[in-house]
Homo-oligomer: A and B are copies of this chain.
Amino acid sequence: NHDLQVASVDPSDREAHSGTQSSHRLLAYSDALISIIATVMVRIQQSVQLLLTAKIAVYLMTFLIVSVAWAAHIRLFQVIVRIDDCLALLNLACMMLITFLPYTFSLMATFTDNVLGILLFCGCVMVIGVIQSLIVLYAFSRPFLLNEQIQISENQNYYKHHILQVIMRVPIMCFFLMVFSHFHFPLQSYVLLAIIIFLPYISQCLKWCRSKAIVEDTPDSMLFYTYLPNEPLSKERVEAFSDGVYAIVATLLILDICEDNVPDPTVVQKQFGGSLIAALQVYGPEYLAYFGSFATVGLLWFVHHSLFLHVTKTTRFMGLLNTFSLAFVGGLPLAYQLTHEFPRNSRNELEAIQISCVIIFFAGIFQLAIWVVALYNEQETLHPYVRYGGREHVFMLAKLALYPCVALGTFFLTCILSKFSAQIFHLMEITVPFAFLVLRILVRIGLALLRLIFCPDRPDPRTVVEEEGDETRVPFNALVT
A interface vs B, CB < 8 Å? 1-2, 5-6, 9-10, 13-14, 16-22, 25-26, 28-29, 32-33, 36-37, 40, 43-44, 47-49, 85-86, 88-89, 92, 95-96, 99-100, 102-103, 106-107, 110-111, 114, 116, 239-240, 243-244, 246-248, 250-251, 254-255, 257-259, 261-265, 268, 276-277, 280, 290-291, 294-295, 298-299, 301-302, 305-306, 308-309, 384, 389-391, 433, 436-437, 440, 465, 472-481
Contact = CB atoms under 8 A, between A and B. Distances in A.
A37 B294 CA distance: 13
A252 to B, nearest CB: 9
A384 B255 contact: no
A13 B102 contact: no
B32 A257 contact: no
A245 to B, nearest CB: 10
A contacts with B: majority SS = helix
B106 A258 contact: yes
A458 to B, nearest CB: 18
Given A306-B85, A479-B9, A116 B259 contact: no
Contact of A475 (B20, B239, B254): B20
A13 to B, nearest CB: 4
Given A111-B276, A247-B29, A476 B18 contact: yes
Contacts of A240: 28
Nearest to A244: B32
A119 B390 CA distance: 50
A302 B243 CA distance: 22
A468 to B, nearest CB: 11
A262 B47 contact: yes
A99 B95 CA distance: 28
A96 B28 contact: no
A114 B93 CA distance: 48
Nearest to A18: B473
Given A49-B264, A92-B295, 10 more contacts: A1-B389, A17-B475, A18-B476, A20-B475, A28-B239, A40-B255, A43-B255, A89-B433, A96-B295, A107-B276
